[in-house]
Chain A
Amino acid sequence: MEPIISLHKINKTFKERPDLPPLKVLEDINLEVFDGEFLVLVGPSGSGKSTLLRIMSGLEKSYDGEVKLKAGISSADTSFVFQQFALLPWLTVEENIELGLIGRKISKNERKRRVAEELKLFGLEQFKNSRPKELSGGMRQRVGIARAIVTNPKIIFMDEPFSELDSFTAEELRKELLNIWQKRKPTIVMVTHIISEALKLGDRVAVLTPRPGKIEKVTSNSLPRPRAERSGDFYKLEDELYSLIKP
């Protein structure tokens, strides 16, 4: 099966300031992501997982190596969910969700129809004219996810999307995300530092080593969904991942 994203020998070194030595953050990363899978990247702080996600999404352009998208897939088929939501404060909820459709030159009527669908799906209809600052963190991230999926992307990149939320809201949003993923089947590549989150969501979990980040292991997770966090198999996988992650 041809992967939807292939990473070949990715190396990344930050040379921000001439008075400081270069900082190597990623070394020889080779990874394949398959169509429709939910891949999670985990690793200790500073292992370069967010940098790797940014390289895959095209937000980080300066690196060595090759990122290849499957034939027929372009960067317009991808979207991104940000850790701190990144909603534009001068736009309403509705306009924020619409933004990706405007960028992709979708007609106004079609934009309205698709945005209305997402507003309904995420329970945001009554907030459509609100500004992001009037919403709670959970609602803001709902808008962030709605903005990412309204374009029907083939690949969604998510950078610690639930880390700014309280645990109850995060749990609720994880369930909503899984529902959407199971219905629409986009490929999702997500970064997290929470092992249980990685195991609840991911089909595969790629573990990165401390800086410079290398792929330590890619673990498959075939536990049936919905996954019970208190089952023996879940604990077993959790222990395995904890033993792989070195601080």
Chain B
Amino acid sequence: MRKKLMKIYKKRWHLAITLLIVLFPFLFFLVFSGLANIPSTKLLLDILISGWRLLAAYLIAAVMAWCLAVLFHQEKFAAVALPIFDVLQSFPTFAALPLAVFFFGPSNFTIIFFLVLTVIWPILFSIVSSLKLIRQDWEEAAIMSRLSGLDYLRYFLWPVSVTGLITGSIIGLGEGWEALVATEIIVGIKTGLGSFFQQFSNNANVTIFGILGFLALIFSINKLVWLPLLEWGHHETEE
């Protein structure tokens, strides 16, 4: 594990600075909650609950996107499937949100379901494009090696799709954070960052500092997780 981390971060100081950057938003929220007279436990809990919802939605979306991309990236299927996916991704999901609340109530299920619908498309299209860029002779080497079933997935499809998965995840999660707060507000659930921002909607200072803290949190996650992963992914398929 340590070896793997060092492979991604290359230098110890890089890892140390990254961890400091990650700590920053939490320190920020602690100081901020004190100044704004908000119980710090409530604020951290809201962040954790929202983070958990997004993480659950992301994991579901990533698995579904990868499976769909693997199933439909080949030319004969892609010609039919991709235009359908394209129409589906343009569907304004928020328009159906009140209806979903009516049926399922202001629940975690409703929020996660709508987050999946937001996050899945960039991941799906990004994986499809990375699969379409597979060099023909790599594919032929896999064919002549008689790779099939799980071996084909493990030794060929997974490595060639991982860069697309990482790129799509960065874009998808960016959209996901945005949709998360909006969905929580529209659904009217009493926990999470949406409820926090709605509660302080008439207090400009709290809202502005809340947004700044929120941005710092997203930035630190990108810096800690996604950017090193992206670099690693490019390194893996570099010739």
Contact = CB atoms under 8 A, between A and B. Distances in A.
Given A103-B146, A103-B148, A104-B146, A88 B238 contact: no
Given A89-B239, A99-B145, A84 B137 contact: yes
B135 to A, nearest CB: 8
A168 interface: no
Contacts of A104: 146
Nearest to A80: B144
B140 to A, nearest CB: 5
Contacts, number: 61
A132 interface: yes
Interface residues of B, number: 20
Contacts of A84: 137
B236 interface: yes
Contacts of A82: 137, 140-141
Name, among A75, A84, A102, A132, the residue most crowded by chain B CB atoms within 10 Å (CB to CB). A102
Given A100-B145, A102-B147, A88 B137 contact: no
Interface in B135-183: 135, 137-138, 140-148, 151, 155-156, 159
Contacts of B143: 59
Interface in B110-147: 135, 137-138, 140-147
Contacts of B140: 59, 80, 82, 86
B237 interface: yes
Contacts of B135: 86
17 contacts: A75-B146, A79-B144, A80-B140, A86-B138, A87-B141, A88-B159, A89-B236, A89-B237, A90-B159, A90-B237, A91-B155, A99-B147, A100-B144, A103-B148, A104-B146, A133-B238, A147-B145
Please give me the 5 A-B residue pairs with the lowest Cβ-Cβ distance, nearest first: A103-B146, A86-B137, A86-B141, A90-B159, A99-B145
Interface of B: 135, 137-138, 140-148, 151, 155-156, 159, 236-239
Interface of A: 57, 59, 75-76, 78-80, 82-84, 86-91, 95, 99-100, 102-104, 132-133, 147
